[in-house]
Structure 1
Amino acid sequence: MAIGEFSFLLSNERAIGMKIAGLFEEFWPPAANPRGSIREFVAESGSADEARICRYLRSGDFVFAAMGMAEDVFGSGESIMGGSSVLTDGEWVWRSDLQFYVSKYHVELPHEFVDRIRSLQYSVPVVSVEDMSMLTDQIVEIRS
């Protein structure tokens, strides 16, 4: 199993894997096996399709919504409303503030995730209620 990927076996023996985009130590607990600091993934500039990738990140389905503001970990003084909320496309999950870091600091995402976004033509697929329930359980488990 890859770092940041979790798998639960359902009662009907169907497994759902969860991959975390933006798996940085500033945002996720040690149980999630963060990839390191977000500072290690800052790029000089963004990809040509960065705006469309950010739109995809904003369009995910909410696994759960968190009230409050998340402060920019780079110290800009900016706050991101609901930044610790978690979104999904059914396969990957990410914090709501990830799009802020991608657009402002050109934070690099896992290549597998970017390839998925592009293959889906920047359109988040519909996530089933069953899959959403399982993803929620997985998030709760690693955050507790």
Structure 2
Amino acid sequence: MTEAKLLPVGFFSDTEIGEASQPSLVESIGKPSEWKDEVLRYLKAAHVMITAGVGLYDELSPGRELVGAYELQTDGVWVWPRSYSFYVERYDAEIPKRLLELASSRNWTPPAFSDDADFDDRIPFS
């Protein structure tokens, strides 16, 4: 049995790592959540499934400061680049209702996965 593809969030279509099928960063900012602090803890604590040797930069800042390394994180249902938590924290990027509901149902604690957990077949983009 094949597991479902991970649900993407934070791959904004108008960014360097964006996907055309995703909303734009510009349209996604300025949408604060009352659960922002809890969601940020959840996003930042989630399993890192991929780390690449390239940096990601703040696409909204004129100085384009370094946000961090390109990493993909997952909670086993959703997948996001590490930069997503940066945009939620700094610019109030939108958090999907289904992600909020899942994180809340898990008491804001993402599940742990072993370092050799394989999500390759579940990544939603080629």
TM class by smaller structure: 0.7 to 0.9
1:121 aligns with 2:107: yes
Larger radius of gyration: 1
Aligned residues: 123
Q: State the alpha-carbon separation in 1 of the partners of residues 115 and 66 from structure 2.
A: 31
TM-score of the aligned structures, taking structure 1 as reference length: 0.74
How do 1:1-144 residues align onto structure 2 when only pairs under 5 Å count? 13-25=1-13, 26=15, 27-30=17-20, 33-34=21-22, 36-43=23-30, 46-77=32-63, 78-82=65-69, 84-127=70-113, 132-133=117-118, 135-139=119-123, 142-143=125-126
Q: State the alpha-carbon separation in 2 of the partners of residues 29 and 43 from structure 1.
A: 21
Q: How far apart are 1:64 and its partner, in Å?
A: 0.4
Q: Is the 8 A contact 1:21 1:113 kept in 2?
A: no
Q: Is the 8 A contact 2:4 2:122 kept in 1?
A: no
Structure 1: state its 5+ residue gaps: 1-12
Q: State the alpha-carbon separation in 2 of the partners of residues 98 and 29 from structure 1.
A: 13
Q: How far apart are 1:43 and its partner, in Å?
A: 1.8
Q: 1:29 to 1:120 in 2, by over 3 A?
A: same
- Greater share of residues in helix: 1
Q: State the alpha-carbon separation in 1 of the partners of residues 67 and 106 from structure 2.
A: 27
SS at match of 2:53: coil
SS at match of 2:6: strand
Structure 1 segments (4+ residues) deviating >4 Å: none
Q: State the alpha-carbon separation in 2 of the partners of residues 52 and 29 from structure 1.
A: 26
Q: State the alpha-carbon separation in 2 of the partners of residues 37 and 121 from structure 1.
A: 29
Q: State the alpha-carbon separation in 2 of the partners of residues 91 and 99 from structure 1.
A: 16
Q: State the alpha-carbon separation in 2 of the partners of residues 14 and 128 from structure 1.
A: 19
TM-score of the aligned structures, taking structure 2 as reference length: 0.83
Corresponding position of 1:3? none
Q: State the alpha-carbon separation in 2 of the partners of residues 76 and 62 from structure 1.
A: 29
- What percentage of aligned pairs have identical amino acids? 24
Q: Is the 8 A contact 1:42 1:107 kept in 2?
A: yes
Deviation track 1:19-76 (CA, whole Å, cap 9, x = no partner) reads 012232123334xx22x211111125x2232122111111111110122321101024
